[in-house]
Amino acid sequence: MKEAMFYKTDGEGLIICELCPHRCRISEGGGGKCGVREVVNGKLYASNYGKVSSMAIDPIEKKPIHRWHSGSKTLSFGTFGCNMTCQFCQNFVLSQQKPDYTYMSPEEVVKEAERLGLESIAYTYNEPSVYYEMVYETAKLAKERGLFNVMVTNGFLNEKPLKKLLPLIDAINVDVKTYNNSIYKNVCGGALEPVLNTLQFIVASCVHLEITCLLVPGLFDDLGEVEKLFKRIRGDVGNIPVHLSRYFPRYQYGEPPTDIGRMLEIQYLALKHFSYVKLGNVY
């Protein structure tokens, strides 16, 4: 395990993790909500450090990043764990479970990207903020070797770790779950405002930003609520690329796949605010 960044003691024997807005207070032998940050002998450790559960060569458009280095390929990898618990998670095997893995150091990941002749590394599949130490060390080394870094995230991250990481990142896709904070809290185990703040920090740092909205029936397919989100994001961060992704039944949510007609309606609304709006997982 790797000692975690961004934590402190509370003076009463508990460790406070300061990585994400949960700010988990963890006792000896316990873990945080993400399931991968644990207290051992009075220190906080990242138990998923270097444990690569998935790795693949992907088109950058698959992340999805469509308006940055189009046509290039990236070395994608992830570990396991997540600081949200979305009931409809499309990749719950990695986010909510502990799959098989292969140990790789940051040096080995960068060397693999170089061996394959790829220009970037993407931190993806499960939530990269919960393998922050691995992302930070790999991205730093990749940047030194002339590679680009791409992050696919839920955006639920505190300001301090985000600002430390952003100088190493070249492009980000943020998955915005909904404009309803009650759903963010009760269905996803997160909160809306920290995610919207993350979008503003990314743009202010001149990092290329795109967003994805998974259009989940009954949770995020109301036309009025969707348009409110689009207006808010356009006002906060400007004219960015938007991806509207089709939901399929997964994990703890069994509603039928998103209706294509409703997706087209939402795309029409989005095009009132953004120049580039792409439907995903439709075919």
145 and 109 in a common domain: yes
Hey, is 196 helix, strand or coil? helix
Within this chain, do residues 197 and 273 fall inside the same structural domain, yes or no? yes
Q: At 79, which CATH number?
A: 3.20.20.70
Nearest-angstrom CA–CA distance, 21 and 36:
16
Query: pLDDT by residue (tens digit) across 122-181?
Result: 999 999 999 999 999 999 999 999 999 999 999 999 999 999 999 999 999 999 999 999
Domain extent for 160: 51-280
Tell me which residue of 196, 164, 118, 117 sits closest to 18, measured CA to CA: 164
- 127 and 7 in one domain? no
Q: How far apart are CA 52 and CA 101, in angstroms?
A: 5
The domain tally of the chain equals 2
Same domain, 237 and 125: yes
Q: Does residue 206 sit in the same domain as residue 99?
A: yes
- Tell me: do 183 and 251 sit in the same domain: yes
Claim to verify: residue 13 and residue 120 sit in the same structural domain: no
Compute the mean pLDDT over every residue in the chain, rounded to the nearest whole number.
97
pLDDT-derived band at 254, boundaries 50, 70, 90: very high
- Read off the pLDDT of residues 61-94 as tens digits, 9 standing for 90 and up: 999 999 999 999 999 999 999 999 999 999 999 9
Count Cα atoms within 13 angstroms, Cβ side, for 86: 27
Residues 185 and 75 reside in one and the same domain: yes
Could you tell me if 188 and 201 lie in one domain? yes
The Cα 212–Cα 64 span in angstroms is 8
Q: Which two tokens stand for residue 242?
A: 């938007």
**Torsion from C-alpha of 59, 273, 176, 163, nearest 10 degrees:** 80
* Residue 182 CB neighbours (<10 A): 9
Nearest to 1 by CA among 133, 93, 162, 95: 133
In this structure, are residues 148 and 119 in contact, taking their beta carbons and an 8 Å threshold? yes
213-236 pLDDT per residue, tens? 999 999 999 999 999 999 999 999
The verdict on 33 and 107 lying in the same domain is no
Distance CA 196, CA 47 (A): 28
3-state secondary structure of 51: strand
The SS3 of residue 23 is coil
The answer on 73 and 26 residing in a single domain is no
The mean pLDDT value for 8-15 works out to: 91
Query: Whole-model pTM?
Result: 0.96
> Are 111 and 30 in the same domain?
no
Q: Would strands 15-17 and 7-9 be described as parallel, antiparallel, or unpaired?
A: antiparallel
